[in-house]
Chains A and B, each alone.
Chain A
């Protein structure tokens, strides 16, 4: 199963957040599965239309996902997924 790691900044809202393996064939499925482990976290990653939030990035191994709207990028069992936040603020 693909594994997913999270930016440490999400631990402020989900203190028990940790690297997790989930059964998923696409990024959209992965986000839904992750939400089962950490209820509500999906709303931090995508907006109310299930589109990736502007200042959030998702990497499949070392490559940024291509489909930020539908999250349709395919993932394989050995893939490592990284959910990151953009380096912005002030």
Chain B
């Protein structure tokens, strides 16, 4: 085909210049609101910010935030501690009645938020690992904090669901079809993470209870060993925490749940919400305001209240009563809602009283009755109760009953303790033996249906 020479030239020059310009033109820089992962871990400052991010997100993450989707509330409903005031909220009723459907949205939120937290810690650990610009001192400390949070999250997953997928990397191609791992293996990983954490974490930093230090990890590991009936290890670790002077069993029960309370081993600050409100979600959900009592959702179970003796200070300070609804409600947190800065109450995760209870149980199971009674009395004493009498004649079973009673009265509506205690000790049996809706398989929450749609390798727990 003949084209005039000049036109040919024009076209060639035109095309060449556009092609050259194209290549560079489509390069764009990262936007102002994003930091590339490698950059996050290229300085200590930003790496620390990423850990702060994890702490912040614990207050927004469903499973850990103390709202009606959290372990605290759902566990207390399952554990016969809380009752729904009205029966119309089916999502919460299913937990109360042990009739959870795999489609239950609260159950889904619980699961997805926990795994999102695990992703965050995995991403953080991977980032730290590959970074060469962070001193080993800072690296160790941050690694310890993240491993603690990962172990903490798996602890609840394995206790609520049984076998769960063990995800330790951020590689979604590898993880998306992961099947469930035996709970023993999950526990092995939890213990590994916590032992690593204890080794590298600083024993300082104890004034700020929202940050994880060596003793925080010990406290959780003590609980893990207790759950696995490693009595000696549980006793050793709880003893180490108890003997640390910065943790004090507060005389005044009203002060226990305050921000950075000396009894606290680990707390989550409401600052993480990023919102104007500064109250804890537990306070907001549990407290029945006298003016707005019609807004209340849950109350404490009457049988639970009846078990308290009148002089028990925990009944008078940690439980309150609303006349119009004839309802008792948890009053550990005193603030229903607040915009005041800074927050005066933090959400409690681990506290010293539980360590006494852990040690008491560990000692008891090792037949150290004196030691066990000593610890139980520490808790009774603080609650304004007389020490156990005739201690010489007490049998293990009776003492164990007393210990479980103290556990339920001391750490009620905190992090599903009651539900997990009933499960691990087999004590659920006489509670529900006459309940036609109860089945043994209700001990495990169902794997969310949504999750099984997307991952065909996830099996369902029996009974669902």
A binds B: no
Binding site for B on A (CB under 8 A): none
Binding site for A on B (CB under 8 A): none
